């Protein structure tokens, strides 16, 4: 009897499937009598069809996993970008007090880390009315890289008390809304870090549109 070589060693699954389907195609070309002489042929067809279905399903799953990994990467990137902003907002909401920060789920630096000194005042505070009634755009320079900002306003003339909280933000700018159109206001801003709030900036006076 002449020998033949039918080895699946070192073949990928697509290569193995191609070999199986080639055998099925060859078997289908036999006469009914010849096919009947190969008892395993019917079951072999079913097994090969099942192998094809499994291979196609795996290809679909790989595509789904790849797409989901891409979605996960994008989702985490956006969430992580906003995490520090939310964290600073939460820290500012409890006045950067250690107990309060722990209470809202923020971790504190390890005890061996070097604590920075008090943050300085924001510089070059300036403001302009926006195109909308009752709004003022404020801008300033941050005293250090990582800090949150507290913005307050006061009616003219300013006094030591009576300041109204306007915004808590992470950026070096904010829009103060809800002002009376045509009225003059004084504004100030200060930075907050883990060491606490810094000094207030110089005042700036702006007339709301």
* 56-92 residue pLDDT tens: 999 999 999 999 999 999 998 888 888 877 888 888 8
Angle (deg, nearest 10), helices 13-28 and 40-93: 150
Once rounded to an integer, what is the mean pLDDT over residues 166-172?
Answer: 87
Structure tokens at 66: 């790849």
Q: CA angle at residue 89 from 86 to 94, to 5 degrees?
A: 130
Average pLDDT of the chain to the nearest whole number: 87
Does residue 3 fall inside a structural domain?
A: no
- The domain of 77 spans 11-109
pLDDT at position 53: 95
Given a cut of 70, whether residue 26 has pLDDT beyond it is yes
Cβ proximity of 136 and 130 under 8 Å:
yes
The predicted structure's pLDDT at residue 111: 47
Are the CB atoms for 18 and 8 separated by under 8 Å?
Answer: no
Structure letter (DSSP) for residue 132: S
Residue 141, in any domain of the structure: yes
Rounded to whole angstroms, the Cα distance separating 90 from 143 reads 20
The answer as to whether 203 is a domain residue is yes
Q: Which of 81, 109, 137 is the last residue of a domain?
A: 109
Q: How far apart are CA 155 and CA 42, in angstroms?
A: 91
In this structure, the answer to whether residues 74 and 128 fall within a common structural domain is no
Residue finishing a domain among 63, 83, 109? 109
DSSP bridge pairs for 205: 186
User: What's the confidence (pLDDT) of residue 169?
Assistant: 85
Above pLDDT 90, what percent of the chain? 58
Q: Identify whether residues 103 and 182 lie together within a single domain.
A: no
Looking at residue 1, its pLDDT comes to 65
Lowest-pLDDT choice from 15-24, 34-43, 74-83, 112-121? 112-121
Could you tell me if 15 and 104 lie in one domain? yes
Does 4 map to a domain? no
Given a cut of 70, whether residue 109 has pLDDT beyond it is no
Cα–Cα distance measured from residue 30 to residue 24, given in angstroms and rounded to the nearest whole number: 10
Where among 109, 142, 174 does a domain terminate? 109
pLDDT of residue 114: 45
More confident residue, 98 or 43: 43
| Total domains in the fold of the chain | 2
User: Do 127 and 102 sit in the same domain of this protein?
Assistant: no
- Structure token digits, residue 70: 């891409």
């Amino acid at each position: 009897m002449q020998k033949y070589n039918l080895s699946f060693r070192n073949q990928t699954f697509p290569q193995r499937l191609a070999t199986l389907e080639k055998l099925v195609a060859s078997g289908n070309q036999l006469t009914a009598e010849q096919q009947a002489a190969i008892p395993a042929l019917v079951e072999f067809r079913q097994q090969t069809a099942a192998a094809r279905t499994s291979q196609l399903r795996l290809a679909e799953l790989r595509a789904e996993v790849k797409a989901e990994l891409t979605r996960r990467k994008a989702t985490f990137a956006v969430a992580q970008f906003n995490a520090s902003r939310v964290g600073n907002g939460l820290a500012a909401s409890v006045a950067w007090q250690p107990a309060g920060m722990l209470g809202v789920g923020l971790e504190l630096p390890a005890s061996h880390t070097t604590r920075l000194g008090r943050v300085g005042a924001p510089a070059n505070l300036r403001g302009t009315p926006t195109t909308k009634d009752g709004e003022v755009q404020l801008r300033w320079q941050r005293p250090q890289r990582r800090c949150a900002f507290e913005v307050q306003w006061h009616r003219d003339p300013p006094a030591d008390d009576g300041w109204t909280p306007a915004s808590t933000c992470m950026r070096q700018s904010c829009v103060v809304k809800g002002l009376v159109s045509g009225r003059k206001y004084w504004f100030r801003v200060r930075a907050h870090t883990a060491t606490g709030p810094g000094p207030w900036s110089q005042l700036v006076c702006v007339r709301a549109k």
